[in-house]
Amino acid sequence: MARKGARKTRRGGARRIFGWLLRFILVFVLGSALWVLLYRFVPPPITFTQIGDLIGGRHLSRDWMPLDQIDDDMKRAAIAAEDSKFCAHWGFDQDAIAAAMRRNADGGGVIRGGSTISQQTAKNAFLWQGGGYFRKGLEAWFTLLIENLWTKQRIMEVYLNVAETGIGTYGVNAGAHRYFRHDAATLSRTEAARIAAVLPLPKRREATTPGGFTRRYGNSIAARINVVQREGLDACLYGENDKAAPAEREVPAPGKRAKAGSATPKQEAPATPPPSETPGAEYEQPAPETPPAGPTPPASSEPVDVNGF
């Protein structure tokens, strides 16, 4: 009788544990989905990374700017530097992840990680920096949520507004004010590329007086912006009325924000990259020990960010 009672007690305890676990999973799934759905319409009021800066005694510089007011070249620069397949994938770039895993296994210099813009947005808006595979698992879940509950335009808008662009500086608009003394509606192609070059290591890089590696990397991004525009790799960021000629939207005078809908050609003449240059080439090239051909910058001793595995 005593043994039967012990078995019933164990079974009852296992059922209670299973019930608690099931309730926890249900609350997490519903809670995270509602959180993501809220941020589809409301700008994130603060992020864990920003809280870390506040705890560290830093002042936060933030200035939210709607996507349709951000200079088109800034959007293209983000795609060219971080995620050339942004408009085509469902949140993950399997080729980039596999390449990052191979490079980490081989050791040596890794110039890019495997994270897409969607993954970085999920991390920046809902999670924290670091954390290893546990955080990567949560990042994958939130990436699936934003890809299904947000539009591509919203993903890019949140990314460009919460990504760190300098110490205590968040978003490309605050970064434009910090580095160039005007807002992100009037960025030149070079300025946009330099902000994009800062994104992987915002606490170590500067866009106004960039070091050798950052300057060369920015020049490479500026060249790849042409490819993004020519091949329509940013097409998902524009409405039906904008897709025909996204490069011809109005650019206001410095200090004024753009109004969507009007058309004035941009003044800056773009440089044409070599035909072999394509966005995301950093995913396909081996970790460089010697300077690669074309505008892609050579590896340097500067620490680099690994957003992938």
Q: pTM for this structure?
A: 0.74
* Among 160, 294, 299, 113, residue whose Cα is nearest residue 219: 294
CATH of 40-284, one of 1.10.3720.10, 1.10.3810.10, 3.10.350.10, 3.40.50.2020: 1.10.3810.10
283/304 Cα distance (integer angstroms): 14
Q: Given the DSSP bridges, would you call strands 169-170 and 164-166 parallel, antiparallel or unpaired?
A: antiparallel
The pLDDT value given to residue 188: 95
Instruction: Kindly report the three-state secondary structure assignment for every residue of the chain.
Output: CHHHHHHHHHHHHHHHHHHHHHHHHHHHHHHHHHHHHHHCCCCCCCCHHHHHHHHCCCCCEECCCCHHHCCHHHHHHHHHHHCCCCCCCCCCCHHHHHHHHHHHHHCCCCCCCCCCHHHHHHHHHHCCCCCHHHHHHHHHHHHHHHHHHCCHHHHHHHHHHHCEEECCEECHHHHHHHHHCCCHHHCCHHHHHHHHHHCCCCCCCCCCCCCHHHHHHHHHHHHHHHHHHHCCCCHHHCCCCCCCCHHHECCCCCCCCCCCCCECCCCCCCCCCCCCCCCCHHHHCCCCCCCCCCCCCCCCCCCCCCCCC
The pLDDT value given to residue 65: 97
Token pair 């025909």 is at which residue? 244
The pLDDT value given to residue 275: 40
229/241 Cα distance (integer angstroms): 16
Domain residue ranges in the chain: 40-284
Find all residues with CB under 8 Å of 162, minimum gap 6, and list them.
44, 47, 121, 124, 125, 170, 171
Q: What is the pLDDT of residues 110-147, one digit of tens each?
A: 445 578 999 999 999 999 988 788 999 999 999 999 99
The tokens for 247 are: 């490069």
The pLDDT value given to residue 211: 76
The pLDDT value given to residue 114: 72
The pLDDT value given to residue 300: 42
Compute the Cα dihedral for 116, 117, 123, 128 and give only its sign.
positive
| Number of Cβ within a 10 Å radius of residue 233 | 23
pLDDT (tens, 9 = 90+) of the chain, 309 residues, equals: 556 666 666 677 788 898 999 999 999 999 999 999 999 999 999 999 999 999 999 999 999 999 999 999 999 999 999 999 999 999 998 777 777 667 666 665 444 557 899 999 999 999 998 878 899 999 999 999 999 999 999 999 999 999 999 999 999 999 999 999 999 999 999 999 999 999 988 888 888 777 788 889 999 999 999 999 999 999 999 976 554 444 444 444 444 454 443 444 454 544 444 444 444 443 333 344 444 444 444 444 444 443 432
The pLDDT value given to residue 278: 41
Q: CB-side exposure of 259: number of CA atoms within 13 Å?
A: 3
